Structure formats: structure tokens, C-alpha cells
Amino acid sequence: MTTSGKFIVLLAWIFISFGCTSQTTEFMKKPIEIEDSIPTFKLRDQHGNFFNSVDWIGKEILVIFFYPKDDTPGCTKEACKFRDDFEDFTDLGARVIGISSDSVDSHLKFAEKYTLPFTLLSDVSGAVRKSFGVPTNLLGLLPGRVTYIVDYDGVVVGKYNSQMNAERHVSEALQVISRLVAEKE
């Protein structure tokens, strides 16, 4: 077998072994974009209570940030930046919500360790992540990092997608919310 043939067999084995073939359809699914309504969802927070998105539409601006994993370097930087600027969000009438596939228990430990004042939702099955069309990276092995800013009508008015610039999600969200609030005044 030629070197290129071996490479193709190896690549096929990786895709099959890690379930990347099913992840490929996630890339092809239309992601939620600016001017789209968010899908409704109901997940447990870090305290085990249900959070239903429908209960918050029309009440507050929502900042929904999807992140890969609790207590990892990039995710910790992002979460702590949201924590450090949390008062800026609340002053603008926004509710911050983090979502990952970690368990309720993992979220509680993460929130307590870093004194995170916002809601963390457990999407163990990945259904909400998929409903938003949040991509995965690195052959489908690493969940993506995307932040959505949602207005009072449940419509996305801002979106920031960057795996590597974790802390920038916060400044991008604050810029969009500040503009939204200024337009409303």
C-alpha cells in the first residue's frame, strides 16, 4: 500500500473511531446567525434547577456563551472575564449564561472555585449546542466556543465565534449590548 493510501486508511479509522462522521453533519447544519430567533431550550443549572429560555425572552437581554469544558485554561479565562465584567452586563440589563456539556456537579464546582455569579447550564447530550449549530473543532473532538447576544424578542443581534480568543467574547458582547441599549433609548 502506498503512503497516501495508508494515510487515507488512517484518516478513515480516526473518523470512524471518534465518531467524526456524525460530527460532519453538524458542520453542515445551518448555524444560528444574526437576525435568527434562538431555539427554545430547557436545561439544568449548576444548582440542579431547570432554566427555561422561554421564561427570559422579553425580560432581559441574554448573553449565551457556549464553551468547551469547565476548569480548562481558555474556558477559565473566559468565565473569569465574564465574572470580572458581570456588573457591566447587569447594569445594561443583560443575563449571562454559560453552556457546556459538563455535568451539573462539574458546573457547581467550577462556579464555586472561581466565584462565578452567572448561570451555567449543563447540556450533557449536546442537543442545545446542536440546535444552535455551534461547530466543533479539531476533527469534531473539541466543542466550539461561540457567544450569542439575544435581544428582548429572542432574536440574535450579535455573535462572536473564536476558539482561541476566549476573553474577547466578553468585550464583543458588551459592545453589542451597549449599542442595543443606546438604540432603545
Catalytic residues: 75
- The C-alpha atoms of residue 160 and residue 56 are separated, in whole angstroms, by 21
| Whole-Å CA distances, 91 to 6, 54, 62 | 58, 22, 13
Distance, in Å, from the CA atom of 22 to the CA atom of 76, rounded to the nearest integer, reads 29
CA distance 185 to 179: 10
Instruction: Give the SS3 label for residue 176.
Output: helix
Q: Which of 144, 96, 146, 97 is nearest to 122 (CA)?
A: 97
What is the spatial distance between Cα 177 and Cα 162, in angstroms, rounded to a whole number?
Answer: 19
Residue type, 127: A
Place of cell 430547557: 42
